[in-house]
Amino acid sequence: MSDRTRTIEKRYDRVSGIYNMMDRMIKDSWRQGLLSSVQGKVLEVGVGTGANLPFYPAGAEVTGIDFSKGMLNQARKKLYQLHTENHIRLIEMDAQDLQFSDQIFDFIVSTCVFCSVPDPIKGLRELGRVCRPDGKILMLEHMRSENKVAGVIMDLLNPLTVRLWGANINRRTLDNIRCAGLTIEESEPIYGSIMKKLIVSRNNSMQNAIKLVN
Ligand SMILES: C[S@@+](CC[C@H](N)C(=O)[O-])C[C@H]1O[C@@H](n2cnc3c(N)ncnc32)[C@H](O)[C@@H]1O
Q: Each residue of 37-72: pLDDT tens digit?
A: 999 999 999 999 999 999 999 999 999 999 999 999
Count how many Cα atoms sit within 13 Å of the Cα of residue 186 in the half-sphere of its side chain: 11
Range of the structural domain that residue 34 is part of: 3-213
Q: What's the structural domain count of the chain?
A: 1
Q: Report the nearest-CA residue for atom 4 of ligand 1.
A: 48
Instruction: Identify which has the larger pLDDT, 64 or 23.
Output: 64
Task: Name the residue of 23, 110, 116 to mutate for ligand 1: max ligand atoms within 8 A of Cβ.
Answer: 116
pLDDT of residue 146: 92
pLDDT of residue 208: 46
* Tens digits of residue pLDDT in 105-158: 999 999 999 999 999 999 999 999 999 999 999 999 999 999 999 999 999 999
Best CA proximity match to 99, nearest among 69, 73, 63: 63
Q: What is the rounded CA–CA span in Å between residue 33 and residue 28?
A: 9
CATH of residue 20: 3.40.50.150
Going by C-beta distance under 8 Å and a sequence separation of 6 or more, which residues neighbour residue 207?
133
pLDDT of residue 21: 80
Q: Report the nearest-CA residue for atom 26 of ligand 1.
A: 48
Q: What is the dihedral of CA 22, 97, 202, 29, to 10 degrees?
A: -20
Model confidence at 210: pLDDT above 50: no
Residue list, ligand 1 pocket, CB within 6 Å: 12, 23, 26, 46-48, 51, 65-68, 71, 94-96, 111-113, 116-117, 123, 167
Task: Name the residue of 5, 12, 31 to mutate for ligand 1: max ligand atoms within 8 A of Cβ.
Answer: 12
Report how far apart, in Å, the C-alpha atoms of 107 and of each of 40, 53, 112, 128 are. Answer: 8, 14, 17, 11
Task: Name the residue of 15, 113, 122, 197 to mutate for ligand 1: max ligand atoms within 8 A of Cβ.
Answer: 113
Instruction: Tally Cβ neighbours within 10 Å of residue 60.
Output: 21
Q: Report the nearest-CA residue for atom 17 of ligand 1.
A: 117
Q: What does the mean pLDDT of the chain come to?
A: 91
pLDDT band of residue 23 (cuts 50, 70, 90) is confident
Q: Are 140 and 199 in contact (CB under 8 A)?
A: no
Q: Following DSSP, what letter does each residue of 29-93 receive, concatenated? A: HHHHHHHTT--SEEEEES-TT-TTGGGSPTT-EEEEEES-HHHHHHHHHHHHHH---SEEEEEE-
Q: Are 95 and 46 in contact (CB under 8 A)?
A: yes
DSSP 191: E
